[in-house]
Structure 1
Amino acid sequence: MDAEGSRFHSYTNLRKSRDRKSINGVTVGNLHSHNKGDTKMMKKPFKAAAMVGQNRKVFFLSWSMEDAVNVVRYHPIPCIFAVSLLFFMGVEYTLFMIPPSSPPFDLGFLLTRPLHRVLAARPALNTALAALNTVFVGMQTMYILWSWLVEGRPRATISALFMFTCRGILGYSTQLPLPEGFLGSGVDFPVGNVSFFLFFSGHVAGSVIASLDMRRMQRRELACLFDTLNVLQAVRLLGTRGHYTIDLVVGVGAGWLFDSLAGNYEEDKKRRRAAATTHQILL
């Protein structure tokens, strides 16, 4: 065998020897220690869970007194919520529940008791305020439809459709009893003293939707007018017992929620149109 063949033979034997000693890049001699390392790595997560206090400090245990003061200083609103949580937990666990035979307790009804007595004693005043309320509802409806049909901005209309659909579902699902002392009027909306869902207030939600759209269009004075009329309308509804307080509060939240959902719907449609246009251009 010549020198070149001898070198090739030696190289081949060395290669085979390395292949036998190597499994997936780990030599046989180191395989045992490698497996031990794997075992340790497998155990690490379990050890980490048991050694949180040793290797890594619990977050709040690392606070200093200055950090605690800064929480109150820089985050006052969550701190107020935390205190109110404790307060209402105490209230909830100590109050007596309303028996089934009694009417619901409503703080708004208590606060508007004088107004209720005035409206009950003066039916003409109640009718006049009811008529003004119907005019205000008409203003909301006209603005929402105007923003779509005239200005070509459908967001407020989409939001109102979302809102009234959800209100119908929730209002039918849990039908609250008509409050005691309800002062109806034939000119109040819905006109004609017809039945209506109490939860939640479409009056309030519709006004919020219109107001938010006005603010987006920089119509701040008109938005402030709508907000003021909405507050007065809410007080009148409490005074006439036309809605519970919770109906009005949730109506405000519903207006914000469905306006946001309508905005997300519009943005999604715009993205889809843009993607479809890009796809057609590439084709």
Structure 2
Amino acid sequence: MTGAAPRLRSPPRNGGVRHSPETARKKSPPPPPSSSAGGIWESAHFLKWTAADALRLPVRHPIPCVLAASLLFFMAVEYTLRMIPATSQPFDLGFAATAALHRGLAASPRLNTLLAGLNTVFVGMQTMYILWTWVIEGRPRSTIAALFMFTCRGILGYATQLPLPQGFLGSGADFPVGNVGFFLFFSGHVAASVIASQDMKRLQRCHLARLFDTLNALQILRLLTTRGHYTIDLAAGLAAGVLFDSIAGEYQISHKLNH
């Protein structure tokens, strides 16, 4: 029997599954983004901005605009300000603002002792509330935050030991009681009060939180007046209270997930 031999077809690839050209195009990987300078600039975000966007920016984002203006202002101040000589005391705006109160308190030692005693009572209130939330109510977040905070304060306070401000009005009734030494940076008085206040706000104890915030503001004013802390110590204390309360909350969440 003569004739051409039958042609054998090679087995299809991909396990015998044939793909149409449309399917092949769908499954092909997308081309990588262009790394050329032209490709980057063509997709740059700022090219999409319009004049209307710029005019609406202060209305839509007032806080970032204020912060940007503040950045430019303080850049100008920083680059034109004369540095404080190494032999001089630091310049402190809070001390300058409370100069009259400082003179009055320096002339009234009994009033200074009374205010120092009241400050110690307030520190006791902070401590009692923070421990109460753990020991009585079974909520350890504030106690954990205080432990984080005081540990960090000890490390930073020891690492950079600031000089005691000139004109410091100490008192044996103040906390730490007995006119003993203490770290200036940052203020544990202020940070502990913020930690307690944050807990009160979470539990809707609004009146108690407002009381603590008011006493904390008075405490800050007194510490500036007595030169017991620099302004930076008090500002950092406020930030530390919020920060370590947040860290304690994250710690509790991660601890529950891992156990």
The alignment's TM-score, normalised by the length of structure 1, stands at: 0.81
- Aligned partner letter, 2:39: M
1:131 aligns with 2:117: yes
Query: CA RMSD, aligned part only?
Result: 2.0
- Aligned partner letter, 2:63: I
CA distance in 2 between counterparts of 1:154 and 1:46 reads 52
219, 222, 225: which one pairs with 1:236? 222
**Deviation digits for residues 203-228 of structure 1 (CA, Å, limit 9, x no counterpart):** 00000000000111110000000000
Kindly tell me the number of residue pairs found equivalent between the two proteins: 242
77, 91, 113: which one pairs with 2:63? 77
CA distance in 2 between counterparts of 1:52 and 1:174 reads 46
Partner residue in 2 for 1:175: 161
Partner residue in 1 for 2:182: 196
CA apart distance, 1:52: 3.0
Partner residue in 2 for 1:210: 196
Within 5 A, what are the aligned runs for 1:38-53? 45-47=34-36, 49-53=37-41
Task: Specify every segment of 5 or more residues in structure 2 that has no aligned partner in the other structure, as ranges.
Answer: 14-30
Structure (1/2) with the larger helix percentage: 1
Partner residue in 2 for 1:24: none
Alpha carbons of 1:2 and 1:254: their partners in 2 closer, same or farther (altered >3 Å)? farther
Task: Specify every segment of 5 or more residues in structure 1 that has no aligned partner in the other structure, as ranges.
Answer: 20-40, 274-283
Partner residue in 1 for 2:253: 267
- Aligned partner letter, 2:223: L
**Deviation digits for residues 154-206 of structure 1 (CA, Å, limit 9, x no counterpart):** 00000000000000000000000000000000010000000000000000000
Within 5 A, what are the aligned runs for 1:75-114? 75-114=61-100
CA distance in 1 between counterparts of 2:146 and 2:206 reads 20
CA apart distance, 1:2: 9.2
- Aligned partner letter, 2:105: L
207, 212, 231: which one pairs with 1:245? 231
Partner residue in 2 for 1:226: 212
Partner residue in 1 for 2:23: none
CA apart distance, 1:6: 4.2
1:15 aligns with 2:1: no
- Aligned partner letter, 1:116: H
Determine if contact 2:194/2:238 at 8 Å carries over to the other structure.
yes
CA distance in 2 between counterparts of 1:167 and 1:120 reads 29
Identity %: 64
| Structure of greater Rg | 1
CA distance in 1 between counterparts of 2:2 and 2:124 reads 107
CA distance in 2 between counterparts of 1:208 and 1:99 reads 35
CA apart distance, 1:62: 2.2
- Aligned partner letter, 1:163: M
CA distance in 1 between counterparts of 2:109 and 2:132 reads 34
The alignment's TM-score, normalised by the length of structure 2, stands at: 0.89
CA apart distance, 1:122: 0.2
